[in-house]
C-alpha cells in the first residue's frame, strides 16, 4: 500500500510517500510544496492546490493521511493553515481518494507509544522504522513521513480490521 502523508501549511506543506507491505515500510519520496512569503495569499493557495494535484497524479497513493489542525497561541496563522488544508482536501477529493486525519497526539502515540513525545523522539523513531541514516529535510517533510507511518500502523491494526 502506498500512503501519502501531508503536513499542511501555507509557507511549507510537507509530504512523505511511503510503501508498506506486511508490516514493513519504506520511504519512496518526500519533500515540500513551498510558496513565497509576501505573495498574495490567494495566489499561494492556488500554488498549493495545483502542486498537490500534480503530486497526487504522480505519486498515485492508495491512501492519504493529513495532520488535524491544532490551534495554539497564534490563531491568525491557524486560519491560514486551515485555508491551505482546505485546498489540499479539495485536491484529494477531486483525485477520488479518501483522506484520514490524525491529531498530533495520535501520530506520536502510533510511532513512539507516548502522546506527548518530543520532536526528537519522533524523528528518531521515524529513522529507525524506515532504516534511514538521517532525517529528511525540511522538518515539514519529516513530519509528513511520520503522519504516513501513523496511518500505516493505524490502518493495519486488528481493531481497524474488525471495523472494515
| Active-site pick, 68, 133, 140, 143 | 140
Distance CA 71, CA 78 (A): 6
Does residue 67 carry a catalytic annotation? yes
Strands 63-67 and 2-7: parallel
Distance CA 67, CA 78 (A): 13
Answer for the pair 1, 60: CB distance below 8 angstroms, yes or no: no
| Grid coordinates belonging to 5 | 502523508
Distance CA 90, CA 136 (A): 27
Does residue 139 carry a catalytic annotation? no
Does residue 40 carry a catalytic annotation? no
Nearest residue to 141 (alpha-carbon basis) of 56, 58, 10, 32: 32
With residue 67 as reference, give the H or E element that holds it. Answer: strand 63-67
| Grid coordinates belonging to 67 | 495532520
| Active-site pick, 67, 98, 124, 133 | 67
With residue 34 as reference, give the H or E element that holds it. Answer: strand 24-34
Active site residues: 7, 67, 140
Amino acid at each position: 500500500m502506498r500512503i501519502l502523508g501531508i503536513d499542511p501549511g501555507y509557507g511549507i506543506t510537507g509530504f512523505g510517500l511511503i510503501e508498506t507491505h506486511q508490516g514493513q515500510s519504506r520511504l519512496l519520496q518526500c519533500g515540500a510544496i513551498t510558496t513565497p512569503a509576501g505573495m498574495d495569499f490567494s495566489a499561494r493557495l492556488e500554488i498549493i492546490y495545483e502542486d498537490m494535484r500534480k503530486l497526487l497524479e504522480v505519486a498515485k497513493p492508495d491512501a492519504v493521511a493529513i495532520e488535524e489542525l491544532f490551534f495554539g497561541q497564534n490563531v491568525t496563522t491557524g486560519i491560514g493553515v486551515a485555508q491551505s488544508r482546505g485546498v489540499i482536501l479539495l485536491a484529494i477529493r477531486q483525485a477520488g481518494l479518501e483522506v484520514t486525519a490524525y491529531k498530533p497526539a495520535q501520530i506520536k502515540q502510533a510511532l513512539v507509544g507516548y502522546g506527548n513525545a518530543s520532536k526528537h523522539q519522533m524523528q528518531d523513531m521515524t529513522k529507525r522504522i524506515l532504516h534511514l541514516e538521517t532525517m529528511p529535510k525540511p522538518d515539514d517533510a519529516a513530519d509528513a513521513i511520520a503522519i504516513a507511518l501513523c496511518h500505516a500502523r493505524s490502518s493495519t491494526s486488528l481493531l481497524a480490521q474488525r471495523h472494515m
